[in-house]
Amino acid sequence: MGHVIPHLVRIGKPVYGYLSDAFWYDVGSTEAYEKLSPKLVEETFSYLF
């Protein structure tokens, strides 16, 4: 898929951001996701299930 934000900037599309103190974990790969504690995932994302 590549890098979405640089592509949007390159083609002149607006890109926005905001500050947040919410939990964040970059799961850009299956390996990164698998390193997360199952309990942490369940507690953090229980509202999605």
Q: Give the CA dihedral 20, 26, 27, 29, nearest 10 degrees.
A: 150
Say if 14 falls within a structural domain: no
Residue ranges of alpha helices (H) inside 4-37 are: 4-10, 30-34
Cα first-last separation, the chain: 27
Say if 45 falls within a structural domain: yes
Tally of structural domains, the chain: 1
pTM equals 0.43
* pLDDT 10s digits, 1-49: 468 899 999 999 999 999 999 877 777 888 888 888 888 878 888 888 7
DSSP strands (E only) in 1-49: none
Give the CA count within 13 Å in the CB-facing half-sphere of 29.
4
Say if 40 falls within a structural domain: yes
Structural domain of residue 31, as residue ranges? Answer: 19-49
Say if 27 falls within a structural domain: yes
Say if 3 falls within a structural domain: no
Say if 10 falls within a structural domain: no
